[in-house]
Amino acid sequence: MNPRIGKYISSHCSETMLPVIAMTATSDNNVYILAGEEYDSQLSLQVYNHAGNVWEHLSSVQRYREDPDDMRLPSYEHEFLLEFSGHLYYLTVTLDDADVLLWNRKYSWQTKQWLECSEPQIDRIARFS
């Protein structure tokens, strides 16, 4: 992949591939996705294998649900996959009229497991209309 000379990743999704919930490209040019159905309780972390032109499963992560028995994904819930300082993070942001809930997990490259993160302290929230 070298955008400066017009070379990009080209991938064809198979019919058996799960829907992509979140995606990120990392500083080392790897592309990762979290894939799963809307009501799945777990998501699949997959990395794009450039040489084989295929997605490879790395790990599974439990999705956040305020009520574990309610598998509906509310319209005000957003999920993100991002890289920061060489680490992958899975974030879920839930908004309602009064609160913002941020839930996150960090992927451990050594154990190939998702670890709990401490809750960030939010001092002030700006409201936009």
The per-residue pLDDT for 118 is: 76
- Tell me: the pLDDT tens digits for 72-106? 555 477 899 999 888 999 998 887 666 777 889 99
Give the residue among 19, 51, 47 at the shortest CA–CA distance from 35.
Answer: 19
E strand or H helix that includes residue 84: strand 77-84
Q: pLDDT tens across 58-68, in order?
A: 999 998 765 65
